[in-house]
Chains A and B, each alone.
Chain A
């Protein structure tokens, strides 16, 4: 069981049989009274956000979630296939279950998959991923003005803004948390 004083951002807990994650958290204490913890929580199944205020006497169950290290294998139709690194069992996830992670999934990439009971509900990718630019408008020489970005498409189908000098076939690094271009990667 968790106590209210365990609350912090990203803590996962159960509310009415659904797993929630704390997305925002504020300590409040009206003079001489008991401490309060005002939280915004996201339902990890539906994505809906709720506000809850916990008192210091409140306690709750940790979310019934389990994180596994898995390898992304390949995509077939609408199914994304992953393999458990420990027991080599394979699972398939739908595009909806994979969510935004689909933009950065590269074959054989290692990632963390969060399960609620037996159901995969979230994927955490490495913070940085290197991908090949598959489609890019040509670089007009001399166009080096900073802040002048152009859209390109990378091997996963993801569209991202990059500086004008990035060319088709080059590898770039993307921050998976923000989805932003970071740098060119020299092989």
Chain B
């Protein structure tokens, strides 16, 4: 009899997890980023339609470190990264844990296209450090990590893989359904995909695209159907940000969620924030990718159910 056979079977994945963390840090340090730590417990999360923050006493556990890290950008920190535990209520599935590890980084002067290139570099660096090489296997798929990854606009993805157009999906409130069921499984093979230019309603903190103000400069990374990261050119217009937060709060109220108070300090900060781009990457999912795991459970020491 072993004390905990599930934990034993994860030995290799947990070693890989440590290697991914080390390599990630080495990558950012080699590029002159400052590793930062911001509080995990905050008075209030940013108003977002579909995220349930987890209460911690009178305060909340942060769903991401975005709020504090952008205040750092405004204060003159130009290249920062953070690896932190984040918390989101009611999210549990093969790709979701209510407590998970997020890598978030920001680069002043970048836009989302420049940031995509840095993502390619990061994955190549990590795969090099792990010794997996540029060809990896994930869920029976052969994936080639070398540059240049596919860049696919959301609208085009709906045309190519969806049973209805983007416009129809938005009108029928089926955007997420078509994306998750019909499109995502087709993305990121044989090369990773950057899915980009999201409808504004799905990018409340991203900058509007000048050439097409119906979309925001936001992208997601998909590898072998697995969604790994969400990045964007940051919105730096405090007035517009306030209006978008009000909209998010309206959606929250419609869905029975309490609205969040207007984050005044944050709005003040972004009014003096330089043009920049930032991204949040799910570290657990990155380990899943390299460990060829089908469930996030396989790459953490304990799931909440096992505690």
Q: Across the interface, do A31 and B227 meet the contact criterion of CB distance under 8 Å? A: yes
Report the Cα distance A28→B227, complex, angstroms.
Answer: 11
- Is there a chain A Cβ closer than 8 Å to B50's Cβ? yes
Report the Cα distance A36→B227, complex, angstroms.
Answer: 15
Contacts of A11-56 to chain B: CB distance below 8 A: 26-36, 38, 53, 55-56
- Is there a chain A Cβ closer than 8 Å to B135's Cβ? no
Determine the residue in chain A with the shortest Cβ distance to B228. Answer: A31
- Is there a chain A Cβ closer than 8 Å to B117's Cβ? no
Q: How large is the interface on A (under 10, 10 to 19, 20 to 34, 35 or more residues)?
A: 10 to 19
A contact residues around B92 at 8 Å (CB): 27
A contact residues around B181 at 8 Å (CB): 36, 38, 53
Determine the residue in chain A with the shortest Cβ distance to B254. Answer: A57
Report the Cα distance A28→B184, complex, angstroms.
Answer: 11
A contact residues around B48 at 8 Å (CB): 32
- Is there a chain B Cβ closer than 8 Å to A5's Cβ? yes
A contact residues around B203 at 8 Å (CB): 32
**Residue among B173, B174, B177, B184 with most chain A CB within 10 A:** B177
Q: Across the interface, do B180 and A27 meet the contact criterion of CB distance under 8 Å? A: no
Report the Cα distance A36→B94, complex, angstroms.
Answer: 13
Contact of B50 among A26, A27, A35 (CB under 8 A): A35
B contact residues around A36 at 8 Å (CB): 176-177, 180-181
Q: Across the interface, do A27 and B220 meet the contact criterion of CB distance under 8 Å? A: no
Q: Across the interface, do B255 and A27 meet the contact criterion of CB distance under 8 Å? A: no
Contacts of B43-100 to chain A: CB distance below 8 A: 48-51, 90-96
Contact of A28 among B93, B173, B230 (CB under 8 A): B93
Determine the residue in chain A with the shortest Cβ distance to B221. Answer: A31
A contact residues around B180 at 8 Å (CB): 28-30, 36, 38, 53
A contact residues around B202 at 8 Å (CB): 32-33
- Is there a chain A Cβ closer than 8 Å to B124's Cβ? no
Given A32-B50, A33-B202, A34-B49, A27 and B93 contact (CB-CB distance below 8 Å): yes
Determine the residue in chain A with the shortest Cβ distance to B88. Answer: A29
B contact residues around A35 at 8 Å (CB): 50, 90-91
Report the Cα distance A35→B175, complex, angstroms.
Answer: 11
Q: Across the interface, do B94 and A26 meet the contact criterion of CB distance under 8 Å? A: yes
B contact residues around A57 at 8 Å (CB): 173, 255
Q: Across the interface, do A33 and B93 meet the contact criterion of CB distance under 8 Å? A: no
Report the Cα distance A21→B174, complex, angstroms.
Answer: 24
- Is there a chain A Cβ closer than 8 Å to B179's Cβ? yes
Q: Across the interface, do A56 and B227 meet the contact criterion of CB distance under 8 Å? A: no
A contact residues around B95 at 8 Å (CB): 28-29
Contact of B230 among A27, A31, A53, A55 (CB under 8 A): A31
Report the Cα distance A53→B163, complex, angstroms.
Answer: 15
Report the Cα distance A19→B202, complex, angstroms.
Answer: 35
Report the Cα distance A21→B175, complex, angstroms.
Answer: 26
Q: Across the interface, do B173 and A5 meet the contact criterion of CB distance under 8 Å? A: no
Which residues of B are in contact with A by a Cβ distance under 8 Å?
Answer: 48-51, 90-96, 173-177, 179-181, 184, 202-203, 220, 227, 230, 255
A-B contact pairs, 30 of them (CB 8 A): A5-B90, A27-B94, A27-B96, A28-B180, A29-B50, A29-B91, A29-B96, A29-B176, A30-B179, A30-B180, A31-B227, A31-B230, A32-B48, A32-B202, A32-B203, A32-B230, A33-B50, A33-B175, A33-B179, A34-B50, A34-B176, A34-B255, A35-B90, A36-B180, A36-B181, A38-B181, A55-B173, A55-B176, A56-B50, A57-B255
Top 8 A-B pairs, shortest CB-CB distance: A27-B93, A33-B176, A31-B230, A30-B180, A28-B180, A34-B50, A30-B179, A30-B176
Starting from the known contacts A36-B180, A38-B180, 5 additional A-B residue pairs (CB-CB under 8 Å) come to A27-B91, A27-B93, A34-B255, A36-B176, A57-B173
